[in-house]
Structure 1
Amino acid sequence: MGRQGNSSPRKTASGSRGGSGASGKTSAAVYRRRRLFVGVALLVAVALGLGGFAVAGAFNGKQASSTDGATEPASAPNAAPSENQAGTPTPAPTPSCNQNLVTVSASTDKAAYGPDENPLLSLKVTNGGPMPCEVNIGTSQMEYLITSGADRIFSSRDCQAKSEDLVKTIAPGASETANMPWPRNRTLEGCSLIEAKPGAGGAYYIFTAKLGSKASPKAVFQLN
Protein backbone atom coordinates (compact mmCIF):
# COMPACT_ATOMS: atom_id res chain seq x y z
CA MET A 1 0.00 0.00 0.00
CA GLY A 2 2.86 2.47 0.73
CA ARG A 3 4.42 2.00 -2.76
CA GLN A 4 1.10 2.46 -4.51
CA GLY A 5 0.52 5.71 -2.56
CA ASN A 6 3.96 7.11 -3.57
CA SER A 7 3.29 6.48 -7.28
CA SER A 8 -0.21 8.02 -7.22
CA PRO A 9 -0.56 10.71 -4.52
CA ARG A 10 -4.07 11.74 -5.56
CA LYS A 11 -5.58 8.24 -5.34
CA THR A 12 -4.08 7.68 -1.90
CA ALA A 13 -5.28 11.04 -0.63
CA SER A 14 -8.88 10.35 -1.64
CA GLY A 15 -8.71 6.74 -0.47
CA SER A 16 -7.58 7.73 3.00
CA ARG A 17 -10.98 9.24 3.68
CA GLY A 18 -12.90 5.98 3.30
CA GLY A 19 -10.54 3.24 4.50
CA SER A 20 -8.75 2.24 7.66
CA GLY A 21 -5.02 2.81 7.12
CA ALA A 22 -1.80 1.46 8.60
CA SER A 23 -0.17 2.99 11.70
CA GLY A 24 -1.10 6.62 12.48
CA LYS A 25 2.50 7.92 12.65
CA THR A 26 3.57 6.39 9.34
CA SER A 27 0.38 7.51 7.57
CA ALA A 28 0.68 11.12 8.81
CA ALA A 29 4.35 11.38 7.79
CA VAL A 30 3.68 9.99 4.32
CA TYR A 31 0.71 12.29 3.93
CA ARG A 32 2.79 15.36 4.87
CA ARG A 33 5.50 14.38 2.39
CA ARG A 34 2.88 13.98 -0.34
CA ARG A 35 1.37 17.39 0.39
CA LEU A 36 4.84 18.97 0.32
CA PHE A 37 5.63 17.30 -3.03
CA VAL A 38 2.31 18.38 -4.58
CA GLY A 39 2.77 21.95 -3.30
CA VAL A 40 6.30 22.26 -4.75
CA ALA A 41 5.18 20.78 -8.08
CA LEU A 42 2.31 23.27 -8.27
CA LEU A 43 4.62 26.25 -7.60
CA VAL A 44 7.03 25.08 -10.31
CA ALA A 45 4.14 24.65 -12.78
CA VAL A 46 2.83 28.17 -12.05
CA ALA A 47 6.31 29.68 -12.37
CA LEU A 48 6.90 27.94 -15.72
CA GLY A 49 3.50 29.09 -16.94
CA LEU A 50 4.29 32.71 -16.11
CA GLY A 51 7.67 32.47 -17.80
CA GLY A 52 6.10 31.07 -20.98
CA PHE A 53 3.48 33.82 -21.00
CA ALA A 54 6.13 36.55 -20.67
CA VAL A 55 8.17 35.11 -23.54
CA ALA A 56 5.12 34.70 -25.77
CA GLY A 57 4.07 38.28 -25.08
CA ALA A 58 7.51 39.61 -25.99
CA PHE A 59 7.33 38.39 -29.56
CA ASN A 60 4.80 38.88 -32.31
CA GLY A 61 4.17 37.19 -35.64
CA LYS A 62 7.10 35.12 -36.93
CA GLN A 63 9.21 36.02 -33.94
CA ALA A 64 6.88 33.97 -31.77
CA SER A 65 8.55 30.82 -33.15
CA SER A 66 12.06 32.17 -32.66
CA THR A 67 14.44 29.68 -31.08
CA ASP A 68 16.01 32.51 -29.08
CA GLY A 69 12.85 32.83 -26.99
CA ALA A 70 12.85 29.11 -26.15
CA THR A 71 15.67 29.47 -23.65
CA GLU A 72 14.16 32.33 -21.67
CA PRO A 73 11.53 30.43 -19.59
CA ALA A 74 14.37 28.63 -17.72
CA SER A 75 15.10 31.79 -15.73
CA ALA A 76 11.47 32.55 -14.92
CA PRO A 77 11.01 30.17 -11.91
CA ASN A 78 13.83 31.92 -10.05
CA ALA A 79 11.80 35.08 -9.54
CA ALA A 80 8.29 35.82 -8.35
CA PRO A 81 5.87 37.37 -10.88
CA SER A 82 5.97 40.76 -9.14
CA GLU A 83 9.76 40.76 -9.19
CA ASN A 84 9.75 39.91 -12.90
CA GLN A 85 7.48 42.83 -13.69
CA ALA A 86 9.30 45.28 -11.44
CA GLY A 87 12.75 44.11 -12.55
CA THR A 88 12.15 44.36 -16.31
CA PRO A 89 14.37 47.18 -17.57
CA THR A 90 12.76 49.88 -19.68
CA PRO A 91 14.28 49.82 -23.20
CA ALA A 92 16.54 52.79 -23.80
CA PRO A 93 15.26 55.14 -26.51
CA THR A 94 17.07 55.03 -29.83
CA PRO A 95 19.51 57.96 -30.00
CA SER A 96 18.64 60.65 -32.50
CA CYS A 97 20.68 60.44 -35.67
CA ASN A 98 21.42 62.47 -38.74
CA GLN A 99 18.69 61.57 -41.21
CA ASN A 100 20.77 63.14 -43.96
CA LEU A 101 23.07 60.13 -43.64
CA VAL A 102 20.19 57.74 -44.41
CA THR A 103 20.23 57.00 -48.13
CA VAL A 104 17.84 55.32 -50.57
CA SER A 105 18.95 53.35 -53.62
CA ALA A 106 17.11 51.63 -56.47
CA SER A 107 18.08 48.54 -58.43
CA THR A 108 16.66 45.82 -60.67
CA ASP A 109 17.61 42.16 -60.71
CA LYS A 110 18.64 42.37 -64.38
CA ALA A 111 19.74 45.05 -66.83
CA ALA A 112 17.53 43.76 -69.65
CA TYR A 113 14.41 41.58 -69.78
CA GLY A 114 12.96 39.28 -72.39
CA PRO A 115 9.33 39.48 -73.56
CA ASP A 116 8.15 37.05 -70.85
CA GLU A 117 10.23 38.37 -67.97
CA ASN A 118 9.03 40.77 -65.26
CA PRO A 119 11.52 43.11 -63.58
CA LEU A 120 12.11 42.80 -59.84
CA LEU A 121 12.39 46.29 -58.35
CA SER A 122 14.39 46.75 -55.14
CA LEU A 123 14.28 49.70 -52.75
CA LYS A 124 17.21 49.75 -50.33
CA VAL A 125 17.54 51.98 -47.25
CA THR A 126 21.01 52.33 -45.71
CA ASN A 127 22.11 54.01 -42.51
CA GLY A 128 25.45 55.65 -43.30
CA GLY A 129 25.74 57.29 -39.89
CA PRO A 130 27.77 56.25 -36.82
CA MET A 131 24.75 55.41 -34.64
CA PRO A 132 21.41 53.55 -34.96
CA CYS A 133 18.58 55.35 -36.73
CA GLU A 134 14.82 54.94 -36.57
CA VAL A 135 13.42 54.99 -40.11
CA ASN A 136 9.83 54.62 -41.28
CA ILE A 137 10.04 52.05 -44.07
CA GLY A 138 6.30 51.39 -44.30
CA THR A 139 4.18 51.51 -47.43
CA SER A 140 3.04 54.98 -46.32
CA GLN A 141 6.53 56.22 -47.25
CA MET A 142 7.53 53.99 -50.16
CA GLU A 143 7.05 54.57 -53.87
CA TYR A 144 8.31 52.59 -56.84
CA LEU A 145 8.23 54.94 -59.81
CA ILE A 146 8.93 54.01 -63.45
CA THR A 147 9.25 56.60 -66.17
CA SER A 148 10.38 56.79 -69.77
CA GLY A 149 11.52 60.28 -70.63
CA ALA A 150 8.66 62.58 -69.67
CA ASP A 151 6.18 59.68 -69.72
CA ARG A 152 5.06 58.51 -66.28
CA ILE A 153 4.59 54.77 -66.73
CA PHE A 154 3.95 53.27 -63.30
CA SER A 155 3.72 54.21 -59.62
CA SER A 156 3.12 51.79 -56.75
CA ARG A 157 0.99 54.45 -55.04
CA ASP A 158 -1.61 54.67 -57.80
CA CYS A 159 -3.36 51.43 -56.85
CA GLN A 160 -1.94 50.84 -53.38
CA ALA A 161 -4.38 48.87 -51.22
CA LYS A 162 -2.98 49.88 -47.81
CA SER A 163 -0.82 52.68 -46.48
CA GLU A 164 0.90 51.64 -43.27
CA ASP A 165 3.80 52.83 -41.13
CA LEU A 166 6.66 50.51 -40.20
CA VAL A 167 9.36 52.09 -38.05
CA LYS A 168 12.59 50.12 -37.81
CA THR A 169 15.88 50.80 -36.09
CA ILE A 170 18.71 50.42 -38.61
CA ALA A 171 22.19 49.83 -37.21
CA PRO A 172 25.17 51.86 -38.46
CA GLY A 173 26.18 50.63 -41.91
CA ALA A 174 23.18 48.27 -42.12
CA SER A 175 20.40 48.26 -44.72
CA GLU A 176 16.77 47.26 -45.19
CA THR A 177 15.59 46.13 -48.63
CA ALA A 178 12.05 45.84 -50.01
CA ASN A 179 11.43 44.04 -53.31
CA MET A 180 8.48 44.39 -55.67
CA PRO A 181 7.89 42.54 -58.96
CA TRP A 182 6.57 44.80 -61.71
CA PRO A 183 4.09 43.09 -64.08
CA ARG A 184 4.96 45.50 -66.93
CA ASN A 185 1.72 47.45 -66.64
CA ARG A 186 0.82 51.12 -66.72
CA THR A 187 -1.01 52.91 -63.90
CA LEU A 188 -2.73 56.26 -63.44
CA GLU A 189 -3.24 58.35 -60.30
CA GLY A 190 -6.37 57.22 -58.49
CA CYS A 191 -6.02 53.78 -60.09
CA SER A 192 -8.07 54.80 -63.11
CA LEU A 193 -8.48 52.11 -65.75
CA ILE A 194 -5.83 52.12 -68.47
CA GLU A 195 -5.41 49.51 -71.18
CA ALA A 196 -2.18 50.78 -72.71
CA LYS A 197 0.98 48.90 -71.83
CA PRO A 198 4.64 49.91 -71.83
CA GLY A 199 6.46 49.39 -75.06
CA ALA A 200 9.09 46.71 -75.57
CA GLY A 201 11.43 46.05 -78.48
CA GLY A 202 14.50 47.32 -76.62
CA ALA A 203 12.93 50.38 -74.98
CA TYR A 204 14.70 51.80 -71.91
CA TYR A 205 12.98 52.70 -68.65
CA ILE A 206 14.02 54.46 -65.46
CA PHE A 207 13.21 53.16 -61.99
CA THR A 208 13.33 55.59 -59.07
CA ALA A 209 12.80 54.43 -55.48
CA LYS A 210 11.35 56.95 -53.01
CA LEU A 211 11.06 56.89 -49.24
CA GLY A 212 9.33 59.94 -47.81
CA SER A 213 11.17 62.99 -49.11
CA LYS A 214 14.20 60.95 -50.19
CA ALA A 215 14.65 59.76 -53.77
CA SER A 216 17.21 57.32 -55.10
CA PRO A 217 19.54 57.77 -58.07
CA LYS A 218 18.01 56.47 -61.29
CA ALA A 219 18.25 52.78 -62.20
CA VAL A 220 17.99 52.14 -65.96
CA PHE A 221 16.75 48.87 -67.44
CA GLN A 222 15.58 47.60 -70.84
CA LEU A 223 12.44 45.79 -71.97
CA ASN A 224 12.74 43.55 -75.04
Structure 2
Amino acid sequence: MSSFRHPVGPQKPGVYWRRRLTVLGAVAIVVIVVVLIVVGRGNGAPSVAASGSPSASPRAAASSPAPAASASSAPSSGSSSPGPSASASAADGSAADGDTCGKGQIALKPVLDKSAYGPTEDPKIAMSIENTGSKSCHMDLGSAQQVLTISSGEEQYWSSKDCQTGGTNQDVTIKAGQTLTTPAIAWDRTRSSTTTCDSSRPSVTGGGASYHLQVSVGNITSADSAQFILN
Protein backbone atom coordinates (compact mmCIF):
# COMPACT_ATOMS: atom_id res chain seq x y z
CA MET A 1 0.00 0.00 0.00
CA SER A 2 2.90 2.37 0.67
CA SER A 3 4.03 1.97 -2.97
CA PHE A 4 0.48 2.70 -4.12
CA ARG A 5 0.18 5.87 -2.04
CA HIS A 6 3.78 6.89 -2.65
CA PRO A 7 4.84 5.81 -6.14
CA VAL A 8 8.49 4.94 -6.50
CA GLY A 9 10.33 5.62 -9.73
CA PRO A 10 12.49 8.02 -11.65
CA GLN A 11 9.53 10.34 -12.38
CA LYS A 12 7.83 12.73 -10.04
CA PRO A 13 4.86 11.28 -8.05
CA GLY A 14 2.40 13.57 -9.92
CA VAL A 15 3.22 11.87 -13.23
CA TYR A 16 2.30 8.46 -11.83
CA TRP A 17 -0.95 9.79 -10.33
CA ARG A 18 -2.00 11.27 -13.68
CA ARG A 19 -1.34 7.94 -15.41
CA ARG A 20 -3.44 6.06 -12.83
CA LEU A 21 -6.33 8.54 -13.16
CA THR A 22 -6.25 8.19 -16.96
CA VAL A 23 -6.46 4.36 -16.72
CA LEU A 24 -9.27 4.51 -14.14
CA GLY A 25 -11.22 7.00 -16.30
CA ALA A 26 -10.97 4.76 -19.34
CA VAL A 27 -12.19 1.74 -17.32
CA ALA A 28 -15.15 3.79 -15.99
CA ILE A 29 -16.16 4.85 -19.50
CA VAL A 30 -16.12 1.23 -20.72
CA VAL A 31 -18.29 0.15 -17.75
CA ILE A 32 -20.81 2.94 -18.40
CA VAL A 33 -21.06 2.07 -22.12
CA VAL A 34 -21.68 -1.62 -21.31
CA VAL A 35 -24.41 -0.71 -18.80
CA LEU A 36 -26.13 1.59 -21.27
CA ILE A 37 -26.12 -1.09 -23.97
CA VAL A 38 -27.63 -3.69 -21.62
CA VAL A 39 -30.30 -1.30 -20.34
CA GLY A 40 -31.13 -0.05 -23.85
CA ARG A 41 -31.74 -3.58 -25.10
CA GLY A 42 -34.06 -4.36 -22.25
CA ASN A 43 -36.26 -1.21 -22.50
CA GLY A 44 -36.29 -0.32 -26.21
CA ALA A 45 -39.70 -0.42 -28.03
CA PRO A 46 -39.95 -3.02 -30.80
CA SER A 47 -39.62 -1.66 -34.31
CA VAL A 48 -42.64 -1.85 -36.60
CA ALA A 49 -42.18 -3.12 -40.15
CA ALA A 50 -43.59 -0.63 -42.63
CA SER A 51 -46.19 -2.13 -44.91
CA GLY A 52 -47.01 -0.35 -48.16
CA SER A 53 -50.67 -0.08 -49.02
CA PRO A 54 -51.51 -1.83 -52.30
CA SER A 55 -52.12 0.44 -55.23
CA ALA A 56 -55.42 0.28 -57.01
CA SER A 57 -55.20 -1.65 -60.23
CA PRO A 58 -56.86 -0.16 -63.15
CA ARG A 59 -59.84 -2.01 -64.44
CA ALA A 60 -58.36 -1.92 -68.04
CA ALA A 61 -55.79 -0.11 -70.35
CA ALA A 62 -56.69 0.78 -73.97
CA SER A 63 -54.96 2.50 -76.88
CA SER A 64 -58.20 3.57 -78.59
CA PRO A 65 -59.40 7.14 -77.99
CA ALA A 66 -61.77 7.64 -75.08
CA PRO A 67 -65.23 9.12 -75.59
CA ALA A 68 -65.03 12.88 -75.93
CA ALA A 69 -65.59 13.78 -72.28
CA SER A 70 -63.48 13.56 -69.16
CA ALA A 71 -64.17 10.35 -67.21
CA SER A 72 -63.16 9.82 -63.58
CA SER A 73 -62.20 6.47 -62.11
CA ALA A 74 -64.81 4.62 -60.10
CA PRO A 75 -64.90 5.96 -56.55
CA SER A 76 -63.89 3.66 -53.74
CA SER A 77 -65.91 3.48 -50.55
CA GLY A 78 -64.33 3.34 -47.11
CA SER A 79 -67.64 2.65 -45.38
CA SER A 80 -68.42 -0.83 -44.14
CA SER A 81 -72.17 -0.24 -44.27
CA PRO A 82 -73.95 -2.29 -46.96
CA GLY A 83 -74.94 -0.59 -50.19
CA PRO A 84 -78.36 -0.63 -51.82
CA SER A 85 -79.81 -4.07 -52.34
CA ALA A 86 -79.98 -5.55 -55.81
CA SER A 87 -83.78 -5.40 -55.78
CA ALA A 88 -83.74 -1.68 -55.01
CA SER A 89 -81.27 -1.00 -57.85
CA ALA A 90 -83.36 -2.99 -60.31
CA ALA A 91 -86.52 -1.15 -59.26
CA ASP A 92 -85.30 2.33 -60.23
CA GLY A 93 -83.32 1.10 -63.28
CA SER A 94 -79.94 2.26 -62.02
CA ALA A 95 -76.93 0.55 -60.48
CA ALA A 96 -75.52 1.42 -57.09
CA ASP A 97 -72.97 4.22 -57.08
CA GLY A 98 -69.81 2.94 -58.82
CA ASP A 99 -71.35 -0.35 -60.03
CA THR A 100 -71.53 -1.59 -63.61
CA CYS A 101 -74.05 0.36 -65.67
CA GLY A 102 -77.37 -1.36 -66.24
CA LYS A 103 -79.56 -1.20 -69.34
CA GLY A 104 -82.08 1.04 -67.63
CA GLN A 105 -79.37 3.51 -66.66
CA ILE A 106 -77.78 4.13 -70.08
CA ALA A 107 -79.35 5.87 -73.08
CA LEU A 108 -77.58 5.52 -76.43
CA LYS A 109 -78.23 7.86 -79.35
CA PRO A 110 -76.81 7.82 -82.90
CA VAL A 111 -75.01 11.04 -83.85
CA LEU A 112 -74.67 12.48 -87.39
CA ASP A 113 -72.96 15.69 -88.48
CA LYS A 114 -75.72 16.42 -91.03
CA SER A 115 -79.15 15.15 -92.03
CA ALA A 116 -78.47 15.20 -95.77
CA TYR A 117 -75.29 14.76 -97.80
CA GLY A 118 -74.23 15.79 -101.28
CA PRO A 119 -72.94 13.29 -103.85
CA THR A 120 -69.30 13.68 -102.72
CA GLU A 121 -69.88 14.00 -98.96
CA ASP A 122 -69.20 11.13 -96.54
CA PRO A 123 -71.41 11.03 -93.43
CA LYS A 124 -69.59 11.45 -90.11
CA ILE A 125 -71.15 9.00 -87.66
CA ALA A 126 -70.77 8.57 -83.89
CA MET A 127 -72.80 7.85 -80.77
CA SER A 128 -73.61 9.51 -77.46
CA ILE A 129 -73.78 7.63 -74.16
CA GLU A 130 -75.83 9.23 -71.39
CA ASN A 131 -76.12 8.09 -67.78
CA THR A 132 -79.79 8.79 -67.06
CA GLY A 133 -79.64 7.30 -63.55
CA SER A 134 -79.03 9.01 -60.23
CA LYS A 135 -75.75 7.18 -59.53
CA SER A 136 -72.37 7.01 -61.24
CA CYS A 137 -71.56 3.73 -62.95
CA HIS A 138 -68.85 2.25 -65.16
CA MET A 139 -68.92 0.26 -68.41
CA ASP A 140 -66.66 -0.90 -71.21
CA LEU A 141 -66.74 1.75 -73.96
CA GLY A 142 -63.83 0.36 -75.98
CA SER A 143 -64.03 -0.09 -79.75
CA ALA A 144 -64.50 -3.83 -79.24
CA GLN A 145 -67.90 -3.09 -77.67
CA GLN A 146 -69.12 -0.31 -79.98
CA VAL A 147 -71.23 -1.16 -83.04
CA LEU A 148 -72.53 1.35 -85.59
CA THR A 149 -74.97 -0.01 -88.16
CA ILE A 150 -76.42 1.62 -91.31
CA SER A 151 -79.54 0.21 -92.91
CA SER A 152 -82.31 1.16 -95.30
CA GLY A 153 -85.71 -0.35 -94.78
CA GLU A 154 -85.22 -3.88 -93.51
CA GLU A 155 -81.82 -4.34 -95.17
CA GLN A 156 -78.50 -3.74 -93.42
CA TYR A 157 -75.92 -2.06 -95.63
CA TRP A 158 -72.93 -1.43 -93.39
CA SER A 159 -71.59 -2.34 -89.92
CA SER A 160 -68.48 -1.17 -88.09
CA LYS A 161 -67.96 -4.77 -86.94
CA ASP A 162 -67.71 -6.35 -90.40
CA CYS A 163 -64.03 -5.52 -90.96
CA GLN A 164 -62.87 -4.37 -87.54
CA THR A 165 -59.41 -5.48 -86.42
CA GLY A 166 -57.66 -4.89 -83.11
CA GLY A 167 -60.75 -3.90 -81.15
CA THR A 168 -59.87 -2.58 -77.68
CA ASN A 169 -61.51 -2.48 -74.26
CA GLN A 170 -61.75 0.66 -72.14
CA ASP A 171 -63.56 0.79 -68.81
CA VAL A 172 -64.99 4.27 -68.21
CA THR A 173 -66.92 5.75 -65.30
CA ILE A 174 -69.95 7.85 -66.26
CA LYS A 175 -71.28 10.23 -63.65
CA ALA A 176 -75.01 10.64 -63.05
CA GLY A 177 -76.45 12.89 -65.78
CA GLN A 178 -73.21 12.87 -67.79
CA THR A 179 -73.19 12.40 -71.58
CA LEU A 180 -70.15 11.10 -73.46
CA THR A 181 -69.71 11.24 -77.24
CA THR A 182 -67.46 8.89 -79.20
CA PRO A 183 -65.07 10.23 -81.86
CA ALA A 184 -66.78 10.45 -85.26
CA ILE A 185 -65.76 8.17 -88.12
CA ALA A 186 -66.46 8.62 -91.84
CA TRP A 187 -68.67 6.15 -93.68
CA ASP A 188 -67.41 5.81 -97.25
CA ARG A 189 -70.93 5.12 -98.62
CA THR A 190 -70.12 1.49 -99.46
CA ARG A 191 -71.82 -1.78 -98.60
CA SER A 192 -69.80 -3.85 -96.10
CA SER A 193 -69.54 -7.55 -95.33
CA THR A 194 -66.99 -9.82 -93.69
CA THR A 195 -65.98 -11.15 -97.13
CA THR A 196 -65.10 -7.79 -98.70
CA CYS A 197 -62.58 -6.46 -96.18
CA ASP A 198 -59.61 -6.88 -98.51
CA SER A 199 -61.32 -5.93 -101.76
CA SER A 200 -63.23 -3.04 -103.24
CA ARG A 201 -66.80 -2.73 -102.03
CA PRO A 202 -69.81 -1.58 -104.03
CA SER A 203 -71.18 1.89 -103.40
CA VAL A 204 -74.68 2.28 -102.05
CA THR A 205 -77.43 4.12 -103.87
CA GLY A 206 -77.62 7.90 -103.58
CA GLY A 207 -79.93 10.28 -105.39
CA GLY A 208 -82.08 11.02 -102.36
CA ALA A 209 -82.04 7.54 -100.83
CA SER A 210 -82.90 7.37 -97.12
CA TYR A 211 -80.73 5.53 -94.59
CA HIS A 212 -80.78 4.99 -90.84
CA LEU A 213 -77.95 4.85 -88.29
CA GLN A 214 -78.35 2.72 -85.17
CA VAL A 215 -75.75 2.19 -82.44
CA SER A 216 -75.05 -0.21 -79.59
CA VAL A 217 -72.49 -0.83 -76.84
CA GLY A 218 -72.27 -4.38 -75.52
CA ASN A 219 -75.83 -5.55 -74.88
CA ILE A 220 -77.31 -2.04 -74.91
CA THR A 221 -78.84 -0.74 -78.17
CA SER A 222 -80.16 2.71 -79.01
CA ALA A 223 -83.93 2.92 -78.74
CA ASP A 224 -84.20 4.96 -81.95
CA SER A 225 -82.24 5.31 -85.16
CA ALA A 226 -81.18 8.53 -86.88
CA GLN A 227 -82.37 9.11 -90.44
CA PHE A 228 -80.27 10.79 -93.14
CA ILE A 229 -80.37 11.30 -96.90
CA LEU A 230 -77.70 10.55 -99.51
CA ASN A 231 -77.99 12.70 -102.61
Could you say which TM-score interval applies, normalised by the shorter chain?
Answer: 0.5 to 0.7
Q: Does 1:185 align with 2:197?
A: no
Divergent runs of 4+, >3 A: 190-195
Aligned residues: 136
Amino-acid identity (%): 29
Q: Which residue of structure 2 lines up, in the alignment, with residue 219 of structure 1? A: 226
Larger Rg: 2
Alpha-carbon displacement from aligned partner over 1:2-61 (angstroms, at most 9, x marks no partner): xxxxxxxxxxxxxxxxxxxxxxxxxxxxxxxxxxxxxxxxxxxxxxxxxxxxxxxxxx99
Do the aligned residues in 2 keep the contact of 1:153 with 1:186 (CA within 8 Å)?
yes
TM-score (norm 2): 0.55
Query: In structure 1, how many angstroms separate the alpha carbons of the residues matched to 2:176 and 2:105?
Result: 10
Report the CA distance between 1:220 and its aligned residue. 0.4
Report the CA distance between 1:194 and its aligned residue. 5.4
Residues 153 and 124 (structure 1 numbering): CA distance in 2 closer, same or farther, change over 3 Å? Answer: same
Report the CA distance between 1:151 and its aligned residue. 2.0
Q: Does 1:151 align with 2:155?
A: yes
* Unaligned segments of structure 1, at least 5 residues: 1-59, 62-90
Query: In structure 2, how many angstroms separate the alpha carbons of the residues matched to 1:133 and 1:166?
Result: 14
Q: Which residue of structure 2 lines up, in the alignment, with residue 173 of structure 1? A: 177
Query: In structure 2, how many angstroms separate the alpha carbons of the residues matched to 1:177 and 1:138?
Result: 12
Q: Does 1:119 align with 2:103?
A: no
Query: In structure 2, how many angstroms separate the alpha carbons of the residues matched to 1:140 and 1:206?
Result: 22
TM-score (norm 1): 0.56
Report the CA distance between 1:190 and its aligned residue. 4.7
Q: Which residue of structure 1 lines up, in the alignment, with residue 214 of structure 2? A: 208
Do the aligned residues in 2 keep the contact of 1:184 with 1:198 (CA within 8 Å)?
yes
AA at the equivalent of 1:213: N
Q: Does 1:101 align with 2:105?
A: yes
Q: CA RMSD in A?
A: 2.1
Structure (1/2) with the larger helix percentage: 1
Q: Does 1:92 align with 2:64?
A: no
Query: In structure 2, how many angstroms separate the alpha carbons of the residues matched to 1:153 and 1:111?
Result: 18
SS of residue in 1 equivalent to 2:99: coil
